[in-house]
Structure 1
Amino acid sequence: MSRPKASLRAEQDDLRSRMRDRGMTHQEIAAEFARRYRFRPRAAHRHAFGWTLTQAADRINAYAAEHGLDPTGKAPMTEPKLSELENFPRSRVRRLMPQTLALLAGVYGTDVHTLLDLDDHDHLSPSDRLLLTSMGASAPAPAPSAPPSRALAGTPPLARSAADRSRDRPARGPAFDLVTWPVLAVGQHEPVEERLRHVRDQPRSVDLVTIALLRQRVEDLDAQYDRTPPTELLPEAGQLLTLVSYLRSQTPTMRLRRELLTAEAEAAILMGQLVWDASQRRDHRQAHTYLDRAAAAGRELRNPIAEGLALLRSTIVALHGERAPQTALDLARRCMAVTEGSSDVLAGLAALHAAEAYAMQRDTAECEQLLGHAEHLLGRTDAADEASYLYSPRHIPRMAGSCYLFLGQPRTAEELLGHAYSHLHNPAKADAIVLGNLALAQIRQGKPDEAAHAFSQALDVVTRTRGGGGITMAFTISRELGPWRHVPAVRDACDRLLDVMAPPVPTTP
């Protein structure tokens, strides 16, 4: 995101200072920034403090760690993610979750409702709206004079007068304690764990708020999938799927059954991914079992997005696990047919995988035709597409590079793959595949030193994410580098693979 011009920053600083000097509250400053500069509510509250995206992300991560919301210290908020949250629903963020809003409200010292406008409400699910209705005021705002630096990120606000606090206190809803997030605030304020324990014992007590919390937890795990070893996520994902399925069998009303069936489809898709990834892309049968279950739920719901996403994941398993291009092609075509008119993103991604299936069959003409069709579909993607969060501009060069590698054109593949991965300071599992394919393209052109460098970058990603596809790719590269083992860079990279895959040595007490 481009930074505002110096003159604009100076104007905003002057406005902020004048409003503070006149005793105006943070809420009033944010409202004026939203009106004058047409900021969305979340951006307006950040600018009301004068924080950059980096400074705000630092404070959010520090706040989360301070309140036990980030026990592993992974600092998940980044500048791009915060920018997308501020621009929802016109961004790649799939869902503006109540948990995220509560975290932002705690940092900005405001009420969750002041961080939403009509456009946001129009794109919230009914269960999320119900949960947000039960949430009220948060902690007071941080002191405006505190400098937004890393060292002071998350520092508790200075004490303020009762008059100041009364001006900042939102008038809406009961108090909401972020320290015990997530909560159910339907007059009880009981932690989620207690609520879920209760519905296990009394399944007919399940309601829309409980279902919203279950879906939110599934989405939390899904958000962690790309940068977390699958074995860390599998146990909880399996428990959630089992609980959702059990509750659906016991629920008395059709409305609740439909909501639970939606949650079941989402949890089954996640389980299909996790099982396949944890098995290093070997357990195709179990992955298909979960994904078929999700597709069936989508059909029952008459939800083309849920069914299409399950079919897309099944296509990937058939393509890169079973190495069955014709099966993958059939699944991709079904996905395109199901999602036609509902999601250009899912249809476009299915077309990319269909092109890859043709490439595996060495059919250049059909492959390139589908690559063009996919580019057309993905080029008209907008925020109204429910699956827009799945799409990245890197998809096309990444998949096209893979296609040309299968077609025996490594030079073209290298050109496409060279810029198809994300920044390696925060890599995703797919980056290991991209870098692996780049290394293979360079090997097949007789470039061992360049291939060793790409291989080492892929191992960096594998070390951090433990993605099954990356691990499988690493061994493929190591085998193809065999003729160049005498090259020092190649030898070092191949030796490092053994270190990456070796189990950790237990430390002596």
Structure 2
Amino acid sequence: MPEPVRRNAARTLRALRERRGWSWADEARAINDAARVLAIEAVARTSVASLVRTIARWECEGKPVAPGERYQLLLAYAFAVRGNDVAVGRGSDFDELMSVFADLGASADRITALRAQITRLATCGHNLLAFLSPGLRQSLSRALTAPATVSDEVVAQLADFVADLDAQIGGLPFARLQVALAPAVEACRLLLESNPAGPVGTQLSRTAANAFMIAARIAFEVRDFDISARMYRQAINAAGQLPSWERAAIRTSQALVTLYSTRSVPAARQIVDIAVRDARRSDSRVMRARAHALLAEMAARANQEKQAFTALHRAWADVDRHAGADPAAGRFGPGYLEGFEGLCNLHLGRGREAESQLTRSLAALAHPRQAVQRAVITADLALARLRNGAPEAAALLLHDCVDLAAATQARVPSIRIAEVRRELRAWRTEAFVSDLDDHIYDALLAPGSV
């Protein structure tokens, strides 16, 4: 967007703050308060001093920074609600703020959704459940009044809501998904406290474990690492009485997030070992295959070739023999395993084998839901081509990965892109690397690019 428009947006943000008589610290405290109401824990726990620095960047006319989606929501709430008064109509501070967001690049669909969210939230008692559909909101409101009486129908509705959000990973910004999931996470926590027995209790535990696991993954994507670790612990606790394959599923997700948030293979390996034990005790060949594939990756990263190929052999044995009735059917399969084996060969210096396996994996993972995994495999394939002596082909393929990373806004593809780009340093004066750098900047690094 034109710089004069961005500078004018920064001036308007300052004017809105000053119109309320707020200092930067006052606005920071208002954002903290909004985050507590909306259960956005990472911002609720952010210091006033840190938020003041963030607000200053938004209002800097020289080089203004647009508020991210999470902060858009919090600012919208803060400027819509003043004590017991709510103003969201034409000419209100809230309405003017929506125009600022539009000037800073927010889409019309995003503005419409934000208006609807805040209007619903601010006009119905400041209840977090206002983010949910009317039917689910009413059902949960009754259930939370008397948690011990929660019905299987309400839990099924909650499970469907969580599953619908999970299906949107890769298609919606993670900050938006985090806000959308927050009421379900909070409802699961409150309902679990009543410790319902029987089938309803089991289904609630399963729904809660799934919600907490997804919340942990999303927290990682938006760099809330402490919250991610805590949500994984809650997911494991909720899954305590569930079949062991479900705990293994949580552990495999936790292991990958641990690997990329701590960059520690030993820390991730400890979690993988637990996942393998849980998976081996289960009746799910799919989950055993996934756990063994992850074990193979950790071994390959540690240059333990024999352990890596032993684990891969076990993973292929389970993938080849699994039946459609597997309780974890659809969560893992040959396409994914080809990618793991390709990555293992890449770490172990077997570039030719890696390239063919990663090519097959990329061809197999064609579903829109697999966009993040496709981005990861694409970066791995680019690295294989580079190590096989084709730097220009690697850079060309990495353009596809940049597009996928920009579309999904997932962190792991961006990490993988950075790894390949570092290995392209020897060709930094070549035009194909310059073109790649321009694409990376425009799609991933430029203000408003994600």
What TM bracket, shorter-length normalisation? Answer: 0.5 to 0.7
* In 2: Cα distance, 1:288 partner to 1:473 partner: 22
In structure 1, what is the Cα distance between the partners aligned to 2:414 and 2:439?
A: 13
Task: State the distance in 2 between where 1:272 and 1:325 align.
Answer: 19
2:166 corresponds to 1:222: yes
**Structure 2, gaps ≥5 residues long:** 1-133
Distance 1:258 1:369, change over 3 A: closer
Which of 284, 298, 309 is equivalent to 1:368? 309
Is the 8 Å Cα contact of residues 268 and 291 (structure 1) preserved in structure 2?
Answer: yes
Provide the residue aligned with 2:386 in structure 1: 443
In 1, are the aligned partners of 2:376 and 2:412 still within 8 Å (CA)?
yes
Residue 195 of structure 1, aligned match among 136, 139, 142: 139
Per the TM alignment, residue 361 of structure 1 is displaced from its structure 2 partner at its CA by: 1.1
Residue matched to 1:247: 191
- Distance in 2 of aligned mates of 1:327 and 1:345: 24
Given residue 274 of structure 2, which amino acid in structure 1 is its aligned partner? Answer: R
Structure 1 CA distance for aligned equivalents of residues 367 and 388 of structure 2: 25
After the TM superposition, which of the residue ranges 444-453 and 433-442 deviates more from structure 2? 444-453
How far 1:323 sits from its partner (Å)?
A: 3.0
Query: Is 1:480 aligned to 2:423, yes or no?
Result: yes
Which is greater in Rg?
1
Give the aligned partner of residue 261 of structure 2: 321
Q: What are the Cα deviations for residues 394-438 of structure 1, in whole angstroms up to 9, with x where unaligned?
A: 112100111111112222211211221234887611111111111
- Structure 1 residues 425 and 324: CA distance shift in structure 2, 3 A: closer
Separation in 2 of the partners of 1:267 and 1:224? 14
**What SS does the corresponding residue of 1:464 show, helix, strand or coil?**
helix
| Residue in structure 1 matching 2:331, options 390, 403, 406 | 390
Query: C-alpha displacement at 1:327, in angstroms?
Result: 3.0
- SS in structure 2 at match of 1:390: coil
- Structure 1 distance, partners of 2:368, 2:295, is 31
Q: How does 1:198-347 map to 2 (within 5 A)?
A: 198-250=142-194, 255-279=199-223, 283-299=224-240, 301-340=241-280, 341-347=282-288
Equivalence for 2:55: none
Q: TM-score, normalised by structure 1?
A: 0.58
Structure 1: 5+ residue runs without aligned partners?
1-189
- Return closer, same or farther for 1:259/1:423 CA change in 2, 3 Å cut-off: closer
Counting helix residues as a fraction of each chain, which structure ranks higher?
2
Q: How far is 1:201 from its partner?
A: 4.3
The structure-2 alpha-carbon separation of the partners of 1:427 and 1:395, relative to structure 1 and needing over 3 Å to count, comes to closer
Q: Which amino acid aligns with 1:293?
A: Q
Question: Which residue pairs with 2:300 in the alignment?
Answer: 359
Q: Which amino acid is 1:294 matched to?
A: A
Tell me whether 325-334 or 253-262 shows the greater mean CA deviation: 253-262
Whether 1:458 and 2:401 are equivalent positions in the alignment is yes
> Is the CA contact 2:236–2:247 (under 8 Å) kept in the aligned structure 1?
yes
2:443/2:449 contact within 8 Å kept = no
Give the 3 Å change call, closer, same or farther, for CA 367–251 of structure 1 in structure 2: closer
For residues 367 and 237 of structure 2, the distance between their equivalents in structure 1, rounded to whole angstroms, comes to 37
Identity %: 23
Query: Do structure 1's residue 467 and structure 2's residue 417 form an aligned pair?
Result: no
Which amino acid in the other structure matches residue 377 of structure 1? D
1:254 CA displacement = 5.3
Q: 1:289 and 1:359, CA in 2 relative to 1: closer, same or farther beyond 3 A?
A: same
Q: Does 1:415 align with 2:366?
A: no
Deviation by residue 1:240-297 (Cα, 9 ceiling, x = unmatched): 1111111222466555433322221111111111111222xxx544323212221222
- Residue aligned with 2:429, SS: coil
Letter in structure 1 aligned against 2:153: V
Q: Which amino acid aligns with 2:330?
A: Y
Contact 2:167–2:369 under 8 Å retained in 1? no
Give the aligned partner of residue 434 of structure 1.
Answer: 377
Cα distance, 1:311 vs structure 2: 1.2
CA distance in 2, matches of 1:252, 1:487: 64
- Matched with 2:15 is none
Where 1:362 maps in the other structure, the secondary structure is: coil
Q: Distance in 2 between matches of 1:314 and 1:251?
A: 25
How many residues align? The count is 314
**Rounded Cα–Cα distance in structure 2 between residues aligned with 1:385 and 1:339:** 13
Equivalent position SS for 1:402: helix
8 Å contact kept, 1:284–1:322: no
Shift of 1:303: 2.1
The AA in structure 2 aligned to 1:323 is: R
Segment of structure 1 superposing worse, 248-257 or 369-378 = 248-257
Whole-angstrom CA distance in 2 between matches of 1:417 and 1:288: 30
Following the alignment from structure 1 to structure 2, what is the Cα–Cα distance between the partners of residues 396 and 411?
A: 17
Letter in 2 for 1:403: C
Contact 1:295–1:306 (CA<8 Å) still a contact in 2?
no
